[in-house]
Structure 1
Amino acid sequence: MVEDGDKVCWKKKSIFFDLEYWKYLPVRHVLDVMHIEKNVCDSIIGTLLEIPGKNKDGIAARLDLLNMGVKTDLQPEYGERRTRLPPGPWNLSRAEKREVCNSFYGMKVPEGYSSNIKNLVSLQDSRLLGLKSHDCHTLMQQLLPVAIRSVLEKPARYAITRLCFFFNAICAKTVDVSKLDKLEEDVVVTLCLLEKYFSHSFFDIMVHLVVHLVREVRLCGPVYFRWMYPFERYMNNDVLEHSTTAIYLPTS
């Protein structure tokens, strides 16, 4: 337990730190890019389309901005019957939401590239439903920048597109080591741009972990050697349903 004055910062120290060699490990916990990419994609899509349960904007988030003294022009406006949230740079109008969903609904990709995106779009309420990990992978890699190309304010759209390009570069099968330092600098700038134009509630731990992905590529090699897609393909539905703690690895 570490204390900062009267405030307790940490409540538990992992038992792994008792291992003699633990402090010498350059990578103590390998980050799973697949789930980081999925959670970041869910946060972006959920916030842009205001999907319940995945939207990072709301009254509580706006009040947090007010308490921190930033973006005070976005504070809730209380009326007699309802509370109005002024539109932020990340908010889409109803017509823009329909435009984004229509873009996804009309996309056609080569066979085997991804699932049928058309089946994931609900035009009635302008939402994307039932996104799986690989769906989020294809959205972040290629499809999302196309869908938002004519909506949002340009700075916010530019920041999201930069993040999509980062995931595209980090997941490549061949990585130019000489470009990793520049890629790491670029993702820091990208997250600063997102923080500038998006609500602070958007930045959970998954968005923070993006900063560390380039370091792990430098130490551990390409992402596709370490992410969870092969293991989830190996573990069939029966294993996933009957086991929540064990991890079954393929045997040689």
Structure 2
Amino acid sequence: MHIEKNVCENIIGTLLNISGKSKDGLNARLDMIDMGIREQLAPKIRGERTYLPHACYSLTKTEKKQFCKCLYELKVPEGYSSNIRSRVNIKELKLTNLKTHDLHVLMQQLLPVAIRGSLDIKLRSAITRLCFFFNYLCERIVDPCKLDELQSNLIVTLCELEMFFSPSFFDIMIHLTIHLVRKVKLCGPIFMRWMYPFERYMKILK
């Protein structure tokens, strides 16, 4: 659940370019210059200011409004999740105060819907497949015969993400997704081992 949380934070922070949460920035661009890749994203100095060219993995202002509006107007059944609308800041075009379960719901269900019509189609497809990966792993019934195929598809998906996102995006949490399938093989379905039911019951006790 914490891997899913951090992966979702990385994606949303980078797409919306949220300060402190985005994996893109001046240092990330300078690293790409040192590596000799994506020179078109190199920082441009104009007078005393430094500008970062728009990257394919960042939403434009119009796309950010569309993304935030989609989540702000979303209505879900009672008990499905917390009030996502209260987490959306329309003025600053960002998401704030997201809890672990909020990110769980976003990653598995809402993110593919919110990015429809935005980004490059190949990047959007790769992000959606990553969401489907977490969704399948967290189902109550997991077919062991499909786990090897799921692992192979995840590797391809991560390789496709590397074609778009900057190297700074791929921290240890992105790498740990590779080990989740093996963990399911060894320990069984994830829903029997995570903390969501206990955290919800603790709220009842309080």
CA 1:111–1:233: 2 relative to 1, 3 Å: closer
Question: Which range is displaced more, 222-231 or 151-160?
Answer: 222-231
User: Among 160, 172, 177, which residue is 1:210 paired with?
Assistant: 177
Q: What does residue 115 of structure 2 align with?
A: 148
Q: What does residue 109 of structure 1 align with?
A: 76
- CA shift at 1:232, angstroms? 3.4
Does the CA contact (< 8 Å) of 1:175 and 1:222 recur in 2? Answer: yes
- CA shift at 1:115, angstroms? 0.8
Q: What secondary structure, in the 3-state scheme, does the structure 1 residue paired with 2:37 have?
A: coil
Q: What does residue 39 of structure 2 align with?
A: 72
Q: What does residue 42 of structure 1 align with?
A: 9
Does the CA contact (< 8 Å) of 1:46 and 1:55 recur in 2? Answer: yes
Structure index of larger Rg: 1
CA distance, structure 1, for counterparts of residue 66 and residue 135 of structure 2? 24
- CA shift at 1:225, angstroms? 1.8
AA of the residue aligned to 1:181: D
Q: Which residues of 2 match residues 192-207 of structure 1 at below 5 A? A: 192-207=159-174
Q: What secondary structure, in the 3-state scheme, does the structure 2 residue paired with 1:143 have?
A: helix
- CA shift at 1:235, angstroms? 5.4
CA 1:235–1:111: 2 relative to 1, 3 Å: closer
Structure 2 spans left out of the alignment, 5+ residues: none
- TM-score, reference length from structure 2: 0.95
% same residue? 58
Greater fraction of residues in helix: 2
Q: What does residue 60 of structure 1 align with?
A: 27
User: Among 64, 67, 70, which residue is 1:100 paired with?
Assistant: 67
Q: What does residue 128 of structure 1 align with?
A: 95
Q: What does residue 10 of structure 1 align with?
A: none
Q: What does residue 132 of structure 2 align with?
A: 165
Deviations 1:107-163 (A, max 9, x none): 111111011111110000101111101100110111000000111111111111110
Aligned residues: 206
Q: What secondary structure, in the 3-state scheme, does the structure 2 residue paired with 1:207 have?
A: helix
TM-align CA RMSD: 1.7
AA of the residue aligned to 2:125: Y
- CA shift at 1:231, angstroms? 4.2
Does the CA contact (< 8 Å) of 1:43 and 1:202 recur in 2? Answer: yes
Structure 1 spans left out of the alignment, 5+ residues: 1-33, 240-252
- CA shift at 1:83, angstroms? 1.1
- CA shift at 1:226, angstroms? 1.8
- TM-score, reference length from structure 1: 0.78
Q: What secondary structure, in the 3-state scheme, does the structure 2 residue paired with 1:197 have?
A: coil
CA distance, structure 2, for counterparts of residue 141 and residue 196 of structure 1? 23
Does the CA contact (< 8 Å) of 1:155 and 1:197 recur in 2? Answer: no
